[in-house]
Structure 1
Amino acid sequence: MQRDIKKELESYQEEKVVLSAHHESKFQEKLFAELHQEKPKKNTFNWLSIAASIVLLVSISLQFYTNSNIEEDPKIETKEITLGTISPEFNTIETYYTNSINLEISQLDLSDENKDLVDGYLLKIAELTKEYKSLTKELNTKGVNDATIDALIRNLQLRLQLLQRLKKQLKQLKNLNTKQNETQII
């Protein structure tokens, strides 16, 4: 149902609207009142800006508080010196030996037959670990020196050698038990 707009506009006649005599003056009075009416001022700070300000103040005060406590607190120690923190080379050495020691421990073949042997070696290794910690404390108190560094490295080497010797003895014990079982079967 399409209609031609041109024809509609040609036949359109405006309606005559009669306005009251004071219509224009009433309109101007309303417009003037609307323009000059006091509007309530909006609060320039909405709740987000207030919250952001509070968060900013709290974070700044915490920053100053923690910085002042660090400077004033004599109990806070500096970073502990270990063999690995002295130089990258010593870090490589320490990492190599500790990883090797942990690998050897994880590869131990434990059983009831070799429990006493393993416990004896692990006690020696625990003593060496305790000595390593005391040497690290000495490094922190007396400072870095060649004798302490050599002692730390020798300690790591000795622990690794003990574990390798234990592994070798466990292998020999296993072979011996296998041979005894074979002779008993025959």
Structure 2
Amino acid sequence: MSKDIREIMEDQPSKDISLSENHRNKFQERLLKEVHQQPKKRSFLWLQVAASIVVLMSLALGYFGMDTKPSELPSEKPTKEVSLGSLSPELKSIESYYINTINYEISNLSVDENNKEILDGYFAKIAELSSEYKSLTTELSTKGVNDEIINALINNLQLRVQLLQRLKKQLNDLKNLNLKQDETKNI
């Protein structure tokens, strides 16, 4: 319970307290000693050890963490992928025409047990042409616009459409042949 210091002092008998003659000089000397006294140096040895460990670990991770060989590092800025459609509006319409035709022809194909082998063979050829188309597009991006590459891209699209048209014709012939065989069996 806190008490007021004034109350405590009132309860004390008053004494005549006198200070020594050199009291002021002694007080100043003590004060100056404390001010000029060097503060104790703190030991930061643990901090130095921790910093050394961090530096060593970062060097080790930097050295051992490098899995890439200098030959694998990119020497140039990555080039923007250029497609046939991004060169001009005319080429874009040609490319979209052929791609839409290819997708339409594929969507109209009917798959059954009789024509599965034929479809697989044609789709393998179309997949080869598609991968060739991607490589030609990459070549167009790296080597720049070239009439030969543009013609090769258009020819690739045309070949895919022609393959799908041949496939459609062959499937129709196969279907007609099966219908004739069914008719002769029924008679």
Normalised TM-score (structure 2): 0.58
Separation in 1, partners of 2:140, 2:81: 9
2:158 is equivalent to residue 141 of structure 1: no
Aligned length: 113
Match of 2:160 in 1: 159
- Alpha-carbon distance between aligned partners in 1 of 2:80 and 2:139, rounded to the nearest angstrom: 14
Partner of 1:109: 110
1:121 counterpart letter in structure 2: Y
**CA RMSD, 1 decimal:** 1.4
1:150 corresponds to: 151
Inter-partner Cα distance in structure 2 for 1:150 and 1:78: 22
Unmatched segments (≥5 aa) in structure 2: 1-74
Counterpart-to-counterpart distance in 2, 1:127 and 1:105:
16
Tell me if 1:95 matches 2:96.
yes
Letter in 1 for 2:131: K
**Structure 1 segments unaligned to the other structure (5+ residues):** 1-73
User: SS of the counterpart of 1:109?
Assistant: coil
- Kindly state the Cα deviation for residue 80 of structure 1 after the two structures are TM-superposed: 1.3
The whole-number CA distance in structure 2 between the counterparts of 1:179 and 1:133 is 42
Q: What's the offset of the Cα at 1:78?
A: 4.8
Shift of 1:76: 6.8
Amino acid at match of 1:96: Y
- The within-5 A match list for 1:53-72 is none
Partner amino acid, structure 1, of 2:90: E
Structure 1 runs (4+) greater than 4 angstroms displaced: none
Partner letter of residue 181 of structure 1?
A: D
> Matches of 1:134 and 1:75 in 2, distance apart?
19
